[in-house]
Structure 1
């Protein structure tokens, strides 16, 4: 079992921070742009980057692209930033993907590190997605590409239909209350040396209020949220991306790093939530 460090090094993406930040809800939602709290959000993102949480998960859909603009403002003088940019074109054609990734790069002020679709578009196959994203990487619009909200069957198929450049990452919902991917996705990701990005790792704050995790946290002087995030980082391929909407929460999340649960406590948590490997918790968030 892995003990978290300053970086995680994986075959397909190289070395990345052990935890990142998410931007869903920053700058608006899927349907509306919101400029009312820009200063607050930029401060939170900036603090995250200062603390080394430099893998940032964002999207052209968040605030109609405004989340990407906020990432740009917060990182203007930061050289090394691992930007995961999700798009959702109406058709998975290379031309449409090129256009959308170029627009994201314009809003971000830099090239995308890892490109993804939010979901496989209706009427398209996973191979359509792979071919379009692979073409974007070959064109130099992103360093890598990945797959989001995919099943194990889709992932296995994706690994058969690329030409030269394989998918480098998976981003799915994953938490102690939503562990299904451990059964069938994790083995594939580990075998292939891929990165696994876990969105909604705190279940919109539910795990931050969990009394079982809070009780374990007392032994370390840590909060329930910090215990949960530390637990995830023990997986060698998993990087959780809790939302970075508030400086206080960013600093709390960063406190999940630099220490380790004992093997006994890690296993105690594993056992307590083990049923969630096979049961699906109520949907609490979106990516």
Structure 2
């Protein structure tokens, strides 16, 4: 599996998402994913499944150094003391002494972003996380993080798939040596019935989902975190690592709609906010 080097860590391009999975379903899914070959596991305090993920990790024979674990602090917990409490709870539930990547899950109006990131940096310096980052940050927020605060973020985790253009954010992060982690990478399953993707998949002996995932990983320093409870779908997604797309495939995918957003909660930032001068 190829990795992305970012801020001193190696982020596996193929990750395993756990959103909306809890209890034995989550535990079994993570155990299965590890057996398939996934080494990048993504969770969050808000998912309420860190204990389930932790139980699966604890039963694995893999060494800790072979695993990458990402978790996140929720947007209503961004005061320094609250961030520390969230980190402590996450580590307790995950049964780990550190995570590999700790993210601010969502930005929120009125947050003291410098203080929040200062706390994340402190947690990194204390060895509780190997790297820090953000999720769902817009271009102007990223400019504040990178150019004003100068926080050493390793990634921005964003919704990204064949139907949503994220070129401005991706290009900005690439210019600064920062990775993208793409969530919702198969557009909540809609890629499966897409005629363009089905035609490409047929030519390559692949599936539309594999084509969609491979396209994302071809966009530069981009990791993907599809979720799948069953082994068959996990194997399918993992198989995208061996798919090879050509220029014609990329040109065909470029014709697809590029303004579909599937994750847009009421507290989301202004997605199309322009870059700062």
Q: TM range, normalised to the smaller chain?
A: 0.7 to 0.9
Give the secondary structure class of the aligned counterpart of 1:171. strand
Q: Does 1:8 align with 2:6?
A: no
Q: Does 1:195 align with 2:179?
A: yes
How far the C-alpha of 1:188 sits from its partner, in A, is 1.7
Moved more, 101-110 or 202-211: 202-211
Counterpart of 1:170?
156
CA distance in structure 1 between the partners assigned to 2:112 and 2:147 by the alignment: 13
How far the C-alpha of 1:272 sits from its partner, in A, is 1.7
RMSD, matched Cα: 2.1
Counterpart of 2:272?
none
Give the number of aligned pairs: 261
Q: Does 1:148 align with 2:135?
A: yes
How far the C-alpha of 1:211 sits from its partner, in A, is 2.2
- Given that 2:4 and 2:13 are in contact with CA atoms closer than 8 Å, whether structure 1 keeps it comes out as no
Counterpart of 1:253?
237
- Given that 2:27 and 2:56 are in contact with CA atoms closer than 8 Å, whether structure 1 keeps it comes out as yes
- 1:157 paired residue among 117, 136, 144: 144
How far the C-alpha of 1:13 sits from its partner, in A, is 4.2
- 1:283 paired residue among 259, 262, 269: 262
More helix by percentage:
2
Deviations 1:196-232 (A, max 9, x none): 1001011111112222211110111111101101111
Counterpart of 1:49?
34
Give the secondary structure class of the aligned counterpart of 2:70. strand
- Given that 2:80 and 2:116 are in contact with CA atoms closer than 8 Å, whether structure 1 keeps it comes out as no
Q: Does 1:75 align with 2:50?
A: no
- 2:91 paired residue among 102, 105, 108: 105
Counterpart of 1:126?
113
- Given that 1:91 and 1:121 are in contact with CA atoms closer than 8 Å, whether structure 2 keeps it comes out as no
How far the C-alpha of 1:162 sits from its partner, in A, is 3.8
Deviations 1:261-280 (A, max 9, x none): 123222322x222x51xxx3
How far the C-alpha of 1:282 sits from its partner, in A, is 4.3
Deviations 1:83-103 (A, max 9, x none): 110111534232221111111
CA distance in structure 2 between the partners assigned to 1:71 and 1:257 by the alignment: 24
Counterpart of 1:31?
none
Give the secondary structure class of the aligned counterpart of 1:61. helix
Give the TM-score normalised by structure 2. Answer: 0.87
Give the secondary structure class of the aligned counterpart of 1:160. helix
CA distance in structure 2 between the partners assigned to 1:193 and 1:16 by the alignment: 13
4+ residue runs over 4 A deviation: 284-287
Where does structure 2 lack aligned partners over 5 or more consecutive residues? Answer: 269-277
- Given that 1:71 and 1:108 are in contact with CA atoms closer than 8 Å, whether structure 2 keeps it comes out as yes
